Amino acid sequence: MTEIFDLAASNLVSPIILSFALGLVAALARSDLTIPEAVAKGMSIYLLFAIGFKGGAAVAANGIDATLLMAVGAGLVLSFGLPLIAFALLKIMTGMDRIDAAAVAAHYGSISIVTFVAATSVLEGRMIDAEGYMVAVAAAMEAPAILSALWLVARGGSGAKMDAGLMREILLNGSIVLLVGSFIIGGVTGQKGLDEIAPFIVTPFKGVLCLFLLDMGLIAGRGLRNVRGSLGMGAIGFAILMPLVSSFAGLALGMLIGLSLGGIVLLMVLSASASYIAVPAAMRVALPQANPSIYLTLSLGVTFPFNLTLGIPLYLAVAQSMTGG
């Protein structure tokens, strides 16, 4: 337990976490600090491209093996299955109707790529290696949760259905296309390609991430301020409990397929994170009746900061304890 708190304390004073905290405090204090939307979108594009490219280059260096395929398969299983667990917990812990509960559940089966990057930074700071292809697992986990949410709604007779337009919206979502596309480019060009653009996607990466998290803090703070008092303790409790439940599912599958310590931690983080980019975009099309203030505030305003501050150190400590690493 002491180790967990030590890790958390170390994580809390990192530039990444403090940048998020600055944005959160500024928004809650009603500061006029803002990041222009075009700049925020540009940073998002940069981060996704850099993450995907470096992951593809790592796969090119190490090659494709059975563990990679099993890891992607585990990611798909988690992304399909975790929304079912989330939905059941929401029905027990909150008074949400079926559509809102399904929309929230979809967010908790998909992933937060920024939480993934923050975890990668923590591992690098502690000299813990992880499989480069975990970026491919992240990409695989973006969309299946949306399908599970639609199944949950359709099962209740609410009329939601999968059509060609929605499938296109899911599979061609900009974040998925950019992450997968840059991963392929990195895989084709390999280490040589990475060396050529390293001054662009390696050196400035953490600085851009800090600014991006400043913007995320501003968005999260505004969301918390706007829904203050409208979310019950059951919903808040779910947004903290669900990552813990999901992380243990990731731990079990990571150990089962033989991932390294770093790989297990990243699979736990992917399982525990909640989407606030790809899934909200899909929910606006698929379930327009769902309340965005609920699912965005829980995923971005509660689960995201929980994972950044306490979750990642906890998942690392548990993984080290279970693997002896």
Q: What is the pLDDT of residues 118-140, one digit of tens each?
A: 899 889 888 999 988 898 898 88
Q: Measure the CA–CA gap between 53 and 309, rounded to whole angstroms.
A: 27
Confidence of residue 157 (pLDDT cuts 50, 70, 90): low
Longest dimension (CA), the chain: 54
Highest mean pLDDT among 61-65, 152-156, 177-181, 185-189: 185-189
Mean pLDDT confidence for 100-114:
92
Q: Measure the CA–CA gap between 233 and 38, rounded to whole angstroms.
A: 35
Tokens of 4: 């967990």
**Mean of all residue pLDDT scores within the chain:** 87
Mean pLDDT confidence for 238-267:
96
Which residue from 78, 71, 63 is spatially nearest to 257, judged by alpha carbons?
71
Confidence of residue 3 (pLDDT cuts 50, 70, 90): low
Q: Measure the CA–CA gap between 323 and 315, rounded to whole angstroms.
A: 12
Q: Measure the CA–CA gap between 306 and 272, rounded to whole angstroms.
A: 10
What pLDDT does residue 229 have?
63
Tokens of 116: 């993934």
Which residue from 131, 120, 117, 111 is spatially nearest to 63, judged by alpha carbons?
131
Task: Give the rounded percent of residues in the chain with a pLDDT score beyond 90.
Answer: 44
CB under 8 Å to 228, separation ≥6 — which residues? Answer: none
Instruction: Give the residue with greater pLDDT, 4 vs 45.
Output: 45
What pLDDT does residue 143 have?
81
Q: Among 66-80, 136-150, 265-279, 299-313, which is the least confidently predicted range? A: 136-150
What pLDDT does residue 44 have?
85
What pLDDT does residue 161 have?
58
pLDDT digits (tens, 9 = 90+) for 16-61: 888 988 999 999 999 999 999 899 889 988 988 988 898 888 888 8
- CA 313-318-321 angle, to 5 degrees, is 125
Tokens of 135: 């970026």
